[in-house]
Structure 1
Amino acid sequence: MSYTMRDMQEKTGLSAPTLRYYEKEGILPFVERNEHHHRLYNDQNIEWVKFILALRATGMPLVEITQYVESYKKGESTISERRKMMLQHKKKVEADMSQTYLHLERINYKLALYDTLEAGLNNKQIKI
């Protein structure tokens, strides 16, 4: 099945300029064109965009995503290289998540203090 640029925007939430940029930079590979040179996207392109968005949302720089895509294009001989890239990124994401969890604990502690203070000011009993 083929999708137009508008379809891609709706399916991915990305703007046309972003999709064009990703393609130009080699981040979104394998985009075909019709006889009028209009982009034709397919399900594989949608999966690539979802993967790119996951990597971006977890902090991977575009330059590293580009390196990954270039490695992917080289084929099966780069599987261990790509796996290593994903493993390194996974470790970074896990460390970030751990740090975020610690920050969340501090925020929750502060909220609990405020709940206690407000309850005291309002002469309410604190329910546990």
Structure 2
Amino acid sequence: MLYTVGEVAKQLNVAASTLRYYDKEGLLPFLERSGGGMRVFKDEDLSWLRIIECLKKTGMPIKEIKNFMDHCMEGDSKIDERLSIMESQRDAVIKQMKETQEMLDMLNYKCWYYETAKAAGTCAVHANVQTENVPKDYHKFL
């Protein structure tokens, strides 16, 4: 089946201008055009676009995504390079997730802190709090 830019944009929940930008930046070398010059997407193109969107959401710069797509278009001779790019990006996401978890832990601690202060009517309640009265998950913040 063939899709227009607008149809694909809706399916991927991105702006049509984003897809046009990806094309302009060379991320869509597989993309075909109709006789009238309109971009035409096939079902298999959607898989490529999902990969591009995934990489973009992980924070990979457009230039690096283009490099990855170029390796993909070169075929099996670039499997090692493609694997290396994916491993590197996976490692970066794992690092991001750890950092995000640390931020969430701090926010959870501060919510507990202010909930107990609110219940007591003052932040002074924490001035002499005993460690055993603090949830174990929050001991690292004491």
Gapped regions of structure 1 (runs ≥ 5): 123-127
How do 1:1-128 residues align onto structure 2 when only pairs under 5 Å count?
A: 1-121=1-121
Higher relative contact order (CA 8 A, sep 6+): 1
TM-score, normalisation: structure 1: 0.89
* Bigger radius of gyration: 2
Query: How many residues are paired up?
Result: 123
TM-score, normalisation: structure 2: 0.81
Deviation at 1:119, TM superposition (A): 1.3
Mapped to 1, the partners of 2:29 and 2:16 lie a distance apart of 15
21-30 or 73-82: which moved more? 21-30
Mapped to 2, the partners of 1:16 and 1:36 lie a distance apart of 18
Mapped to 1, the partners of 2:57 and 2:47 lie a distance apart of 15
Mapped to 2, the partners of 1:41 and 1:63 lie a distance apart of 22
3-state DSSP of counterpart to 1:36: coil
Gapped regions of structure 2 (runs ≥ 5): 123-134, 136-142
Mapped to 1, the partners of 2:14 and 2:104 lie a distance apart of 30
Mapped to 2, the partners of 1:33 and 1:71 lie a distance apart of 22
> Considering only aligned residues, what root-mean-square deviation do their CA atoms show, in Å?
1.6
Deviation at 1:39, TM superposition (A): 1.3
3-state DSSP of counterpart to 1:51: helix
Deviation at 1:100, TM superposition (A): 0.8
Runs of 4+ in 1 over 6 A off after TM superposition: none
3-state DSSP of counterpart to 2:3: coil
Structure 1 letter corresponding to 2:37 = H
Structure 1 letter corresponding to 2:18 = T
Deviation at 1:17, TM superposition (A): 2.1
Mapped to 2, the partners of 1:5 and 1:57 lie a distance apart of 20
Percent of residue pairs identical: 36
Mapped to 1, the partners of 2:50 and 2:101 lie a distance apart of 25
Does the aligned pair in 2 maintain the 1:29–1:45 contact within 8 Å? Answer: no
| Residue in structure 1 matched with residue 140 of structure 2 by the alignment | none
